Amino acid sequence: MRAVSTGAEQVASLLREAERAVILTGAGISVPSGIPDFRSPGTGLWEKVNPMEVAHIDAWRRDPDRFWSFYGERFASLTDKQPNEAHLALAEFERRGLVRALITQNIDRLHRLAGSERLIEVHGSIERSVCLECGSKVSIDRVVELLATSEGAPLCEVCGAPLKPDVVLFGELLPEQALAEAQQLAMDADLMICVGSSLEVYPVAGLPAITHGGGGRLVLITQGPTPYDGDAEVKLDGDVVTELRAVLAAL
């Protein structure tokens, strides 16, 4: 416990000193909410399918009905999930004026539910689905209703085309504006705290390098190795909830 609290105290003081801190989160922060990281093999929904195939833009284009027979299950598995103490701690940092923004790779909208306000969801969010034909946006609640009342893909109620979840599927580029905002924040940051991400998937994995290259400090709160372990001021590698609870307590 002492080792954890010492590291947590260091993170707390870096946070207090920083003027332009940003947070970057990945799948690991949502694991305690019951959302398995699909990169850990054999977990839940991803047990029997290859996410790179079923959640690929080509799969959606080829056969939206089949795509949604899988993705609808993913929606259903995510809609009842709640933010955990780690999400709440990060929202609290923002409320106290200690961080400027939160960049996340997660699509589960749990940061928003936890109260984070300046949130850049670089992989999109399940909050909405979109019609690529006419540009309509549909809320998750309506999509869930459409999925429950009809077979196959939910259809746009304006033009009848199949909807696409407003998340970045495999094979798709990241939304330009969100990525540009994330890069600008990373460039300006004097501290970046990376939580629950192995920082292996580009372009998001390049954000800490932008901060570090500009003289900003890095903190890692994640289990397992990352490419930035040697650059980080502090690395906390315990459970994210325990670690962030300790940081909050040390503030």
The footprint of Zn ion (CB under 5 A) covers 131, 133-134, 136, 156, 158-159, 161
Instruction: Calculate the CA 170 to chain-centre distance.
Output: 15
Give the position of tokens 């998340």: 167
We find the least distance from the C-beta atom of residue 61 to Zn ion, in angstroms, to be: 16
The minimum distance between CB 82 and Zn ion, in angstroms, equals 32
Considering the complex, state which of residue 122 and residue 143 has its C-beta at the smaller distance from Zn ion.
Answer: 143
| Alpha helices for 115-175 (secondary structure H) | 140-149
Q: Which is nearer to Zn ion, 136 or 242 (CB)?
A: 136
Compare residues 39 and 142 and give the one whose CB is closer to Zn ion: 142
Active-site residue, selected from the candidate residues 56, 87, 111, 123:
123
Burial of 169 (0-12, 13-18, 19+ CB in 10 A): buried
Task: CB nearer to Zn ion: give 94 or 166.
Answer: 166
| Beta bridge partners of residue 21, listed in sequence order | 191
**Amino acid of residue 86:** A
Is 123 part of the annotated catalytic residue set? yes
Q: CB of 139: closest distance to Zn ion in angstroms? A: 15
Smallest gap from Cβ 170 to Zn ion, in A, equals 23
Residues β-bridged to residue 139? 128
104-130 burial: b if 16+ Cβ within 10 Å, else e: bbbbbbbbbbbebeebbbbbbbbbbbb
Catalytic residue numbers, as ranges? 123
